[in-house]
Amino acid sequence: MLNNKTILITGGTGSFGKKFTSRVLEEYNPKKIIIYSRDEYKQFLMQGKFREHYKKLRYFIGDVRDEKRLYRAFDGVDVVIHAAALKQVPAAEYNPIEAVKTNIHGAENIINAAIDKGVQKVIALSTDKAVNPVNLYGATKLVSDKLFISGNAYVGDKDTLFSVVRYGNVSGSRGSVIPFFKSLIDSNETVIPITDSRMTRFWITLDEAVDLVIKAIQEAKGGELYVRKCPSFKVTDLAKAMKEDCEFEDVGIRPGEKLHEVMVTEEDSRTTYEYDDHYIIYPDFDWWENLNNKSGGKKVEDRFRYSSDNNKQWLSVEEIREMLKTIDIVY
């Protein structure tokens, strides 16, 4: 499926890009992997990490805002994984036009370049924040998702396919709650600030995120939005798992923050099907034929909602403690 393919990853020096690159090199025999990103120093570090695979890897300095550069980079590419984004919520609120340029205009540029350069498949990474967005970052990612889904109607008689993969904050990733709590604990803080004691989140690891993207590459026919099933946890239980005798202080929800993560809305339930380890939201357009639906799925009930507060799977404090031992925490 990825053997002898040329793969390009936008934002490829990030946590996902490095993990995806590592997995593909371990499990497949790609023709070439192109790391497309803006930061030459991160590319330098990645070159060192993957030096034994130098014949398979290429590093392109580029920005998704630069359509001409994308056209050159996409030449001969079979699969594109779009992971680049301006994604820090406070930064997007303070720099809204920059977020629009990267997350919306960047998506438009990728769609145009992929179609014109004959890319076979594009998988765009999304976020829970794109669902009923309450901040600018989420709003730009919602538009981005819509652009990629509708890109399948935009292709005309070309063969490029676009699909989306949605998941929440990866456990232990930079900017998430786990490294924040750990930094406080390492500083011998005795009180852990909790924005709201009712808050819940999904637990997903980098490997699970990569699994879902690989699944989408394997089977997507263009227009699907994939959502992985994940266990939920209470943020207070996470704090207890990291420091058993800690005290909490409710400090209030930050601007742009949600009480719970939502992956599938009630409105999406009309076209959502459940599979063993994931959901697929199929496009609600005339051009999509139900014959394209993946077999083995069961349509969810009307008004179904998949969110971290109404999940069937929950992690206990002890289970969280054990899972913390298996992840890398990125500061």
H-only helix segments in 50-88: 67-73
Residue with tokens 């298996």: 326
Residue partners of 267: CB distance under 8 A and separation at least 6: none
> Please, which contacts does 38-41 make with residues 24 or more away whose CB atoms are closer than 8 Å?
38/62, 38/63, 39/13
Q: How far apart are CA 103 and CA 12, in angstroms?
A: 15
CA dist 5 → 26, 69, 103, 256 (Å): 14, 21, 26, 40
129 a catalytic residue = yes
Q: How far apart are CA 103 and CA 88, in angstroms?
A: 12
Radius of gyration of the chain (CA): 20
303 Rama class: left (phi>0) / alpha (psi -120 to 50) / beta: left
Tokens of 204: 């997903």
Q: Could you tell me how many residues make up the chain?
A: 331
Tokens of 42: 């991160």
Chain Cα centroid distance, residue 179: 19
Measured at the alpha carbon of residue 316, what is the angle toward residues 311 and 321, in degrees to the nearest 5? Answer: 125
Q: Catalytic: which of 129, 215, 229, 234?
A: 129
With contact defined as beta carbons under 8 Å apart, do 149 and 225 qualify? Answer: yes
Query: 224: number of CA atoms within 13 Å, CB side?
Result: 27
Q: How far apart are CA 65 and CA 74, in angstroms?
A: 14
Tell me the catalytic residues.
129
